Amino acid sequence: MSTYYKGADLSWLPAMESKSYTFKNSSGKTQDEMTTMKELGVNAVRLRLWVNPSSDIYSGMCNETQVIAMAKRAKAIGAAIMLDLHYSDTWADPGAQTIPAAWSSCTTISALGTQVYNYTYQVMTNMKNAGVTPTWVQIGNEINSGLIWPLGNTSNGFTNVAWLINSGYNAVKAVSSTTKCIVHLANGYNNTTFRWFFDGLKAADGNWDIIGMSLYPTASSYTTYNSQCLANMKDMQSRYDTNVVIAEAGFAYNDPITAAKFLAQLKTNVKAVGGVGIFYWEPECYNWSSYGMGATDPSTKKPTSAMSAY
């Protein structure tokens, strides 16, 4: 029986702490949020890493020093670590995959691939030396449209995309052969997109170990999304002989009853296919950056019932 990981992306936590946010556990005791996560059964923590981020508390921070410090906190509660390499100085998603400013001189795919390899190798080496080797590494974040534009945009085909992914993949394996590499797309309910992307990546000899998915439904769509995501997970496993993980999941914080239903069903589905687990995206968030899909009650500062559902 494979281990099921109850995960949480806590990348904003240091920024929230820097603004004197406090957190309570389910009993109402004020304590370190990491301790609360452990009490809730979280056994894996996802952390995003930006190359040269700004100091902005909402769209910056998450540099290597800060990520290693957070990884040490995650290890201290016994959690496995998922490193989410955006390969950008700020948010990377299907609508934006901006090349890091320091890499802008890499105008050929060969040079950019070398940069990706060297950067990934150095980050992995530094994490290993700090005693926090990741269990998983994402080679890019929600790369439906490719990564590190313009060279890695899928509009140019999959040859460059595969080159960049393999550069990161090979660097990870050179430092830690047991670390699993994830290729992560948004919209885990959309089988058409996943088939298109991974068929293209496979044809271009791209490498990956696990397929990552994001899932952010609403009260009216969660049952459909869960059903479609289950079918997609099964298809990815059979079509590519690869396991799957819900690398990001989220739901409106102010509807915890429905959120719990969504997550409980998703957990059943993930466990049914032997998937790696579910990572809730930023459950600690309350009254933060206009983000409304955390799992903390702003009035009590306690985790909502959603956190006990998966």
Please name the residue that has the structure tokens 């099921």.
4
Q: Which residues contact 295 (CB under 8 A, 6 or more apart)?
A: 251, 253, 256, 259, 280, 283, 303, 304, 306, 307
Please name the residue that has the structure tokens 């949020």.
33
- SS3 assignment, position 280: strand
Question: What residues are paired with 233 via a beta bridge?
Answer: none
197: closest CA among 140, 251, 150?
140
Does the annotation mark 248 as catalytic?
A: yes
Locate all alpha helices (DSSP H) within the chain, ordered by sequence.
13-18, 33-39, 64-76, 109-129, 158-175, 191-203, 222-240, 256-272
Active-site residue among 17, 39, 142, 282? Answer: 142
Q: Which residues contact 220 (CB under 8 A, 6 or more apart)?
A: none
Q: Omega of the bond prior to 150 within 30 degrees of 0, cis?
A: yes
Phi-psi region of 204 (alpha: psi -120 to 50; beta: other; left: phi over 0): alpha
Does the annotation mark 284 as catalytic?
A: no
Active-site residue among 17, 33, 64, 248? Answer: 248
Give the whole-angstrom CA distance, residue 178 versus residue 180.
Answer: 6
Neighbours of 9 (CB within 10 A): 23
Contact between residue 127 and residue 83 where contact means Cβ atoms under 8 Å apart: yes
Q: Catalytic site residues?
A: 142, 248
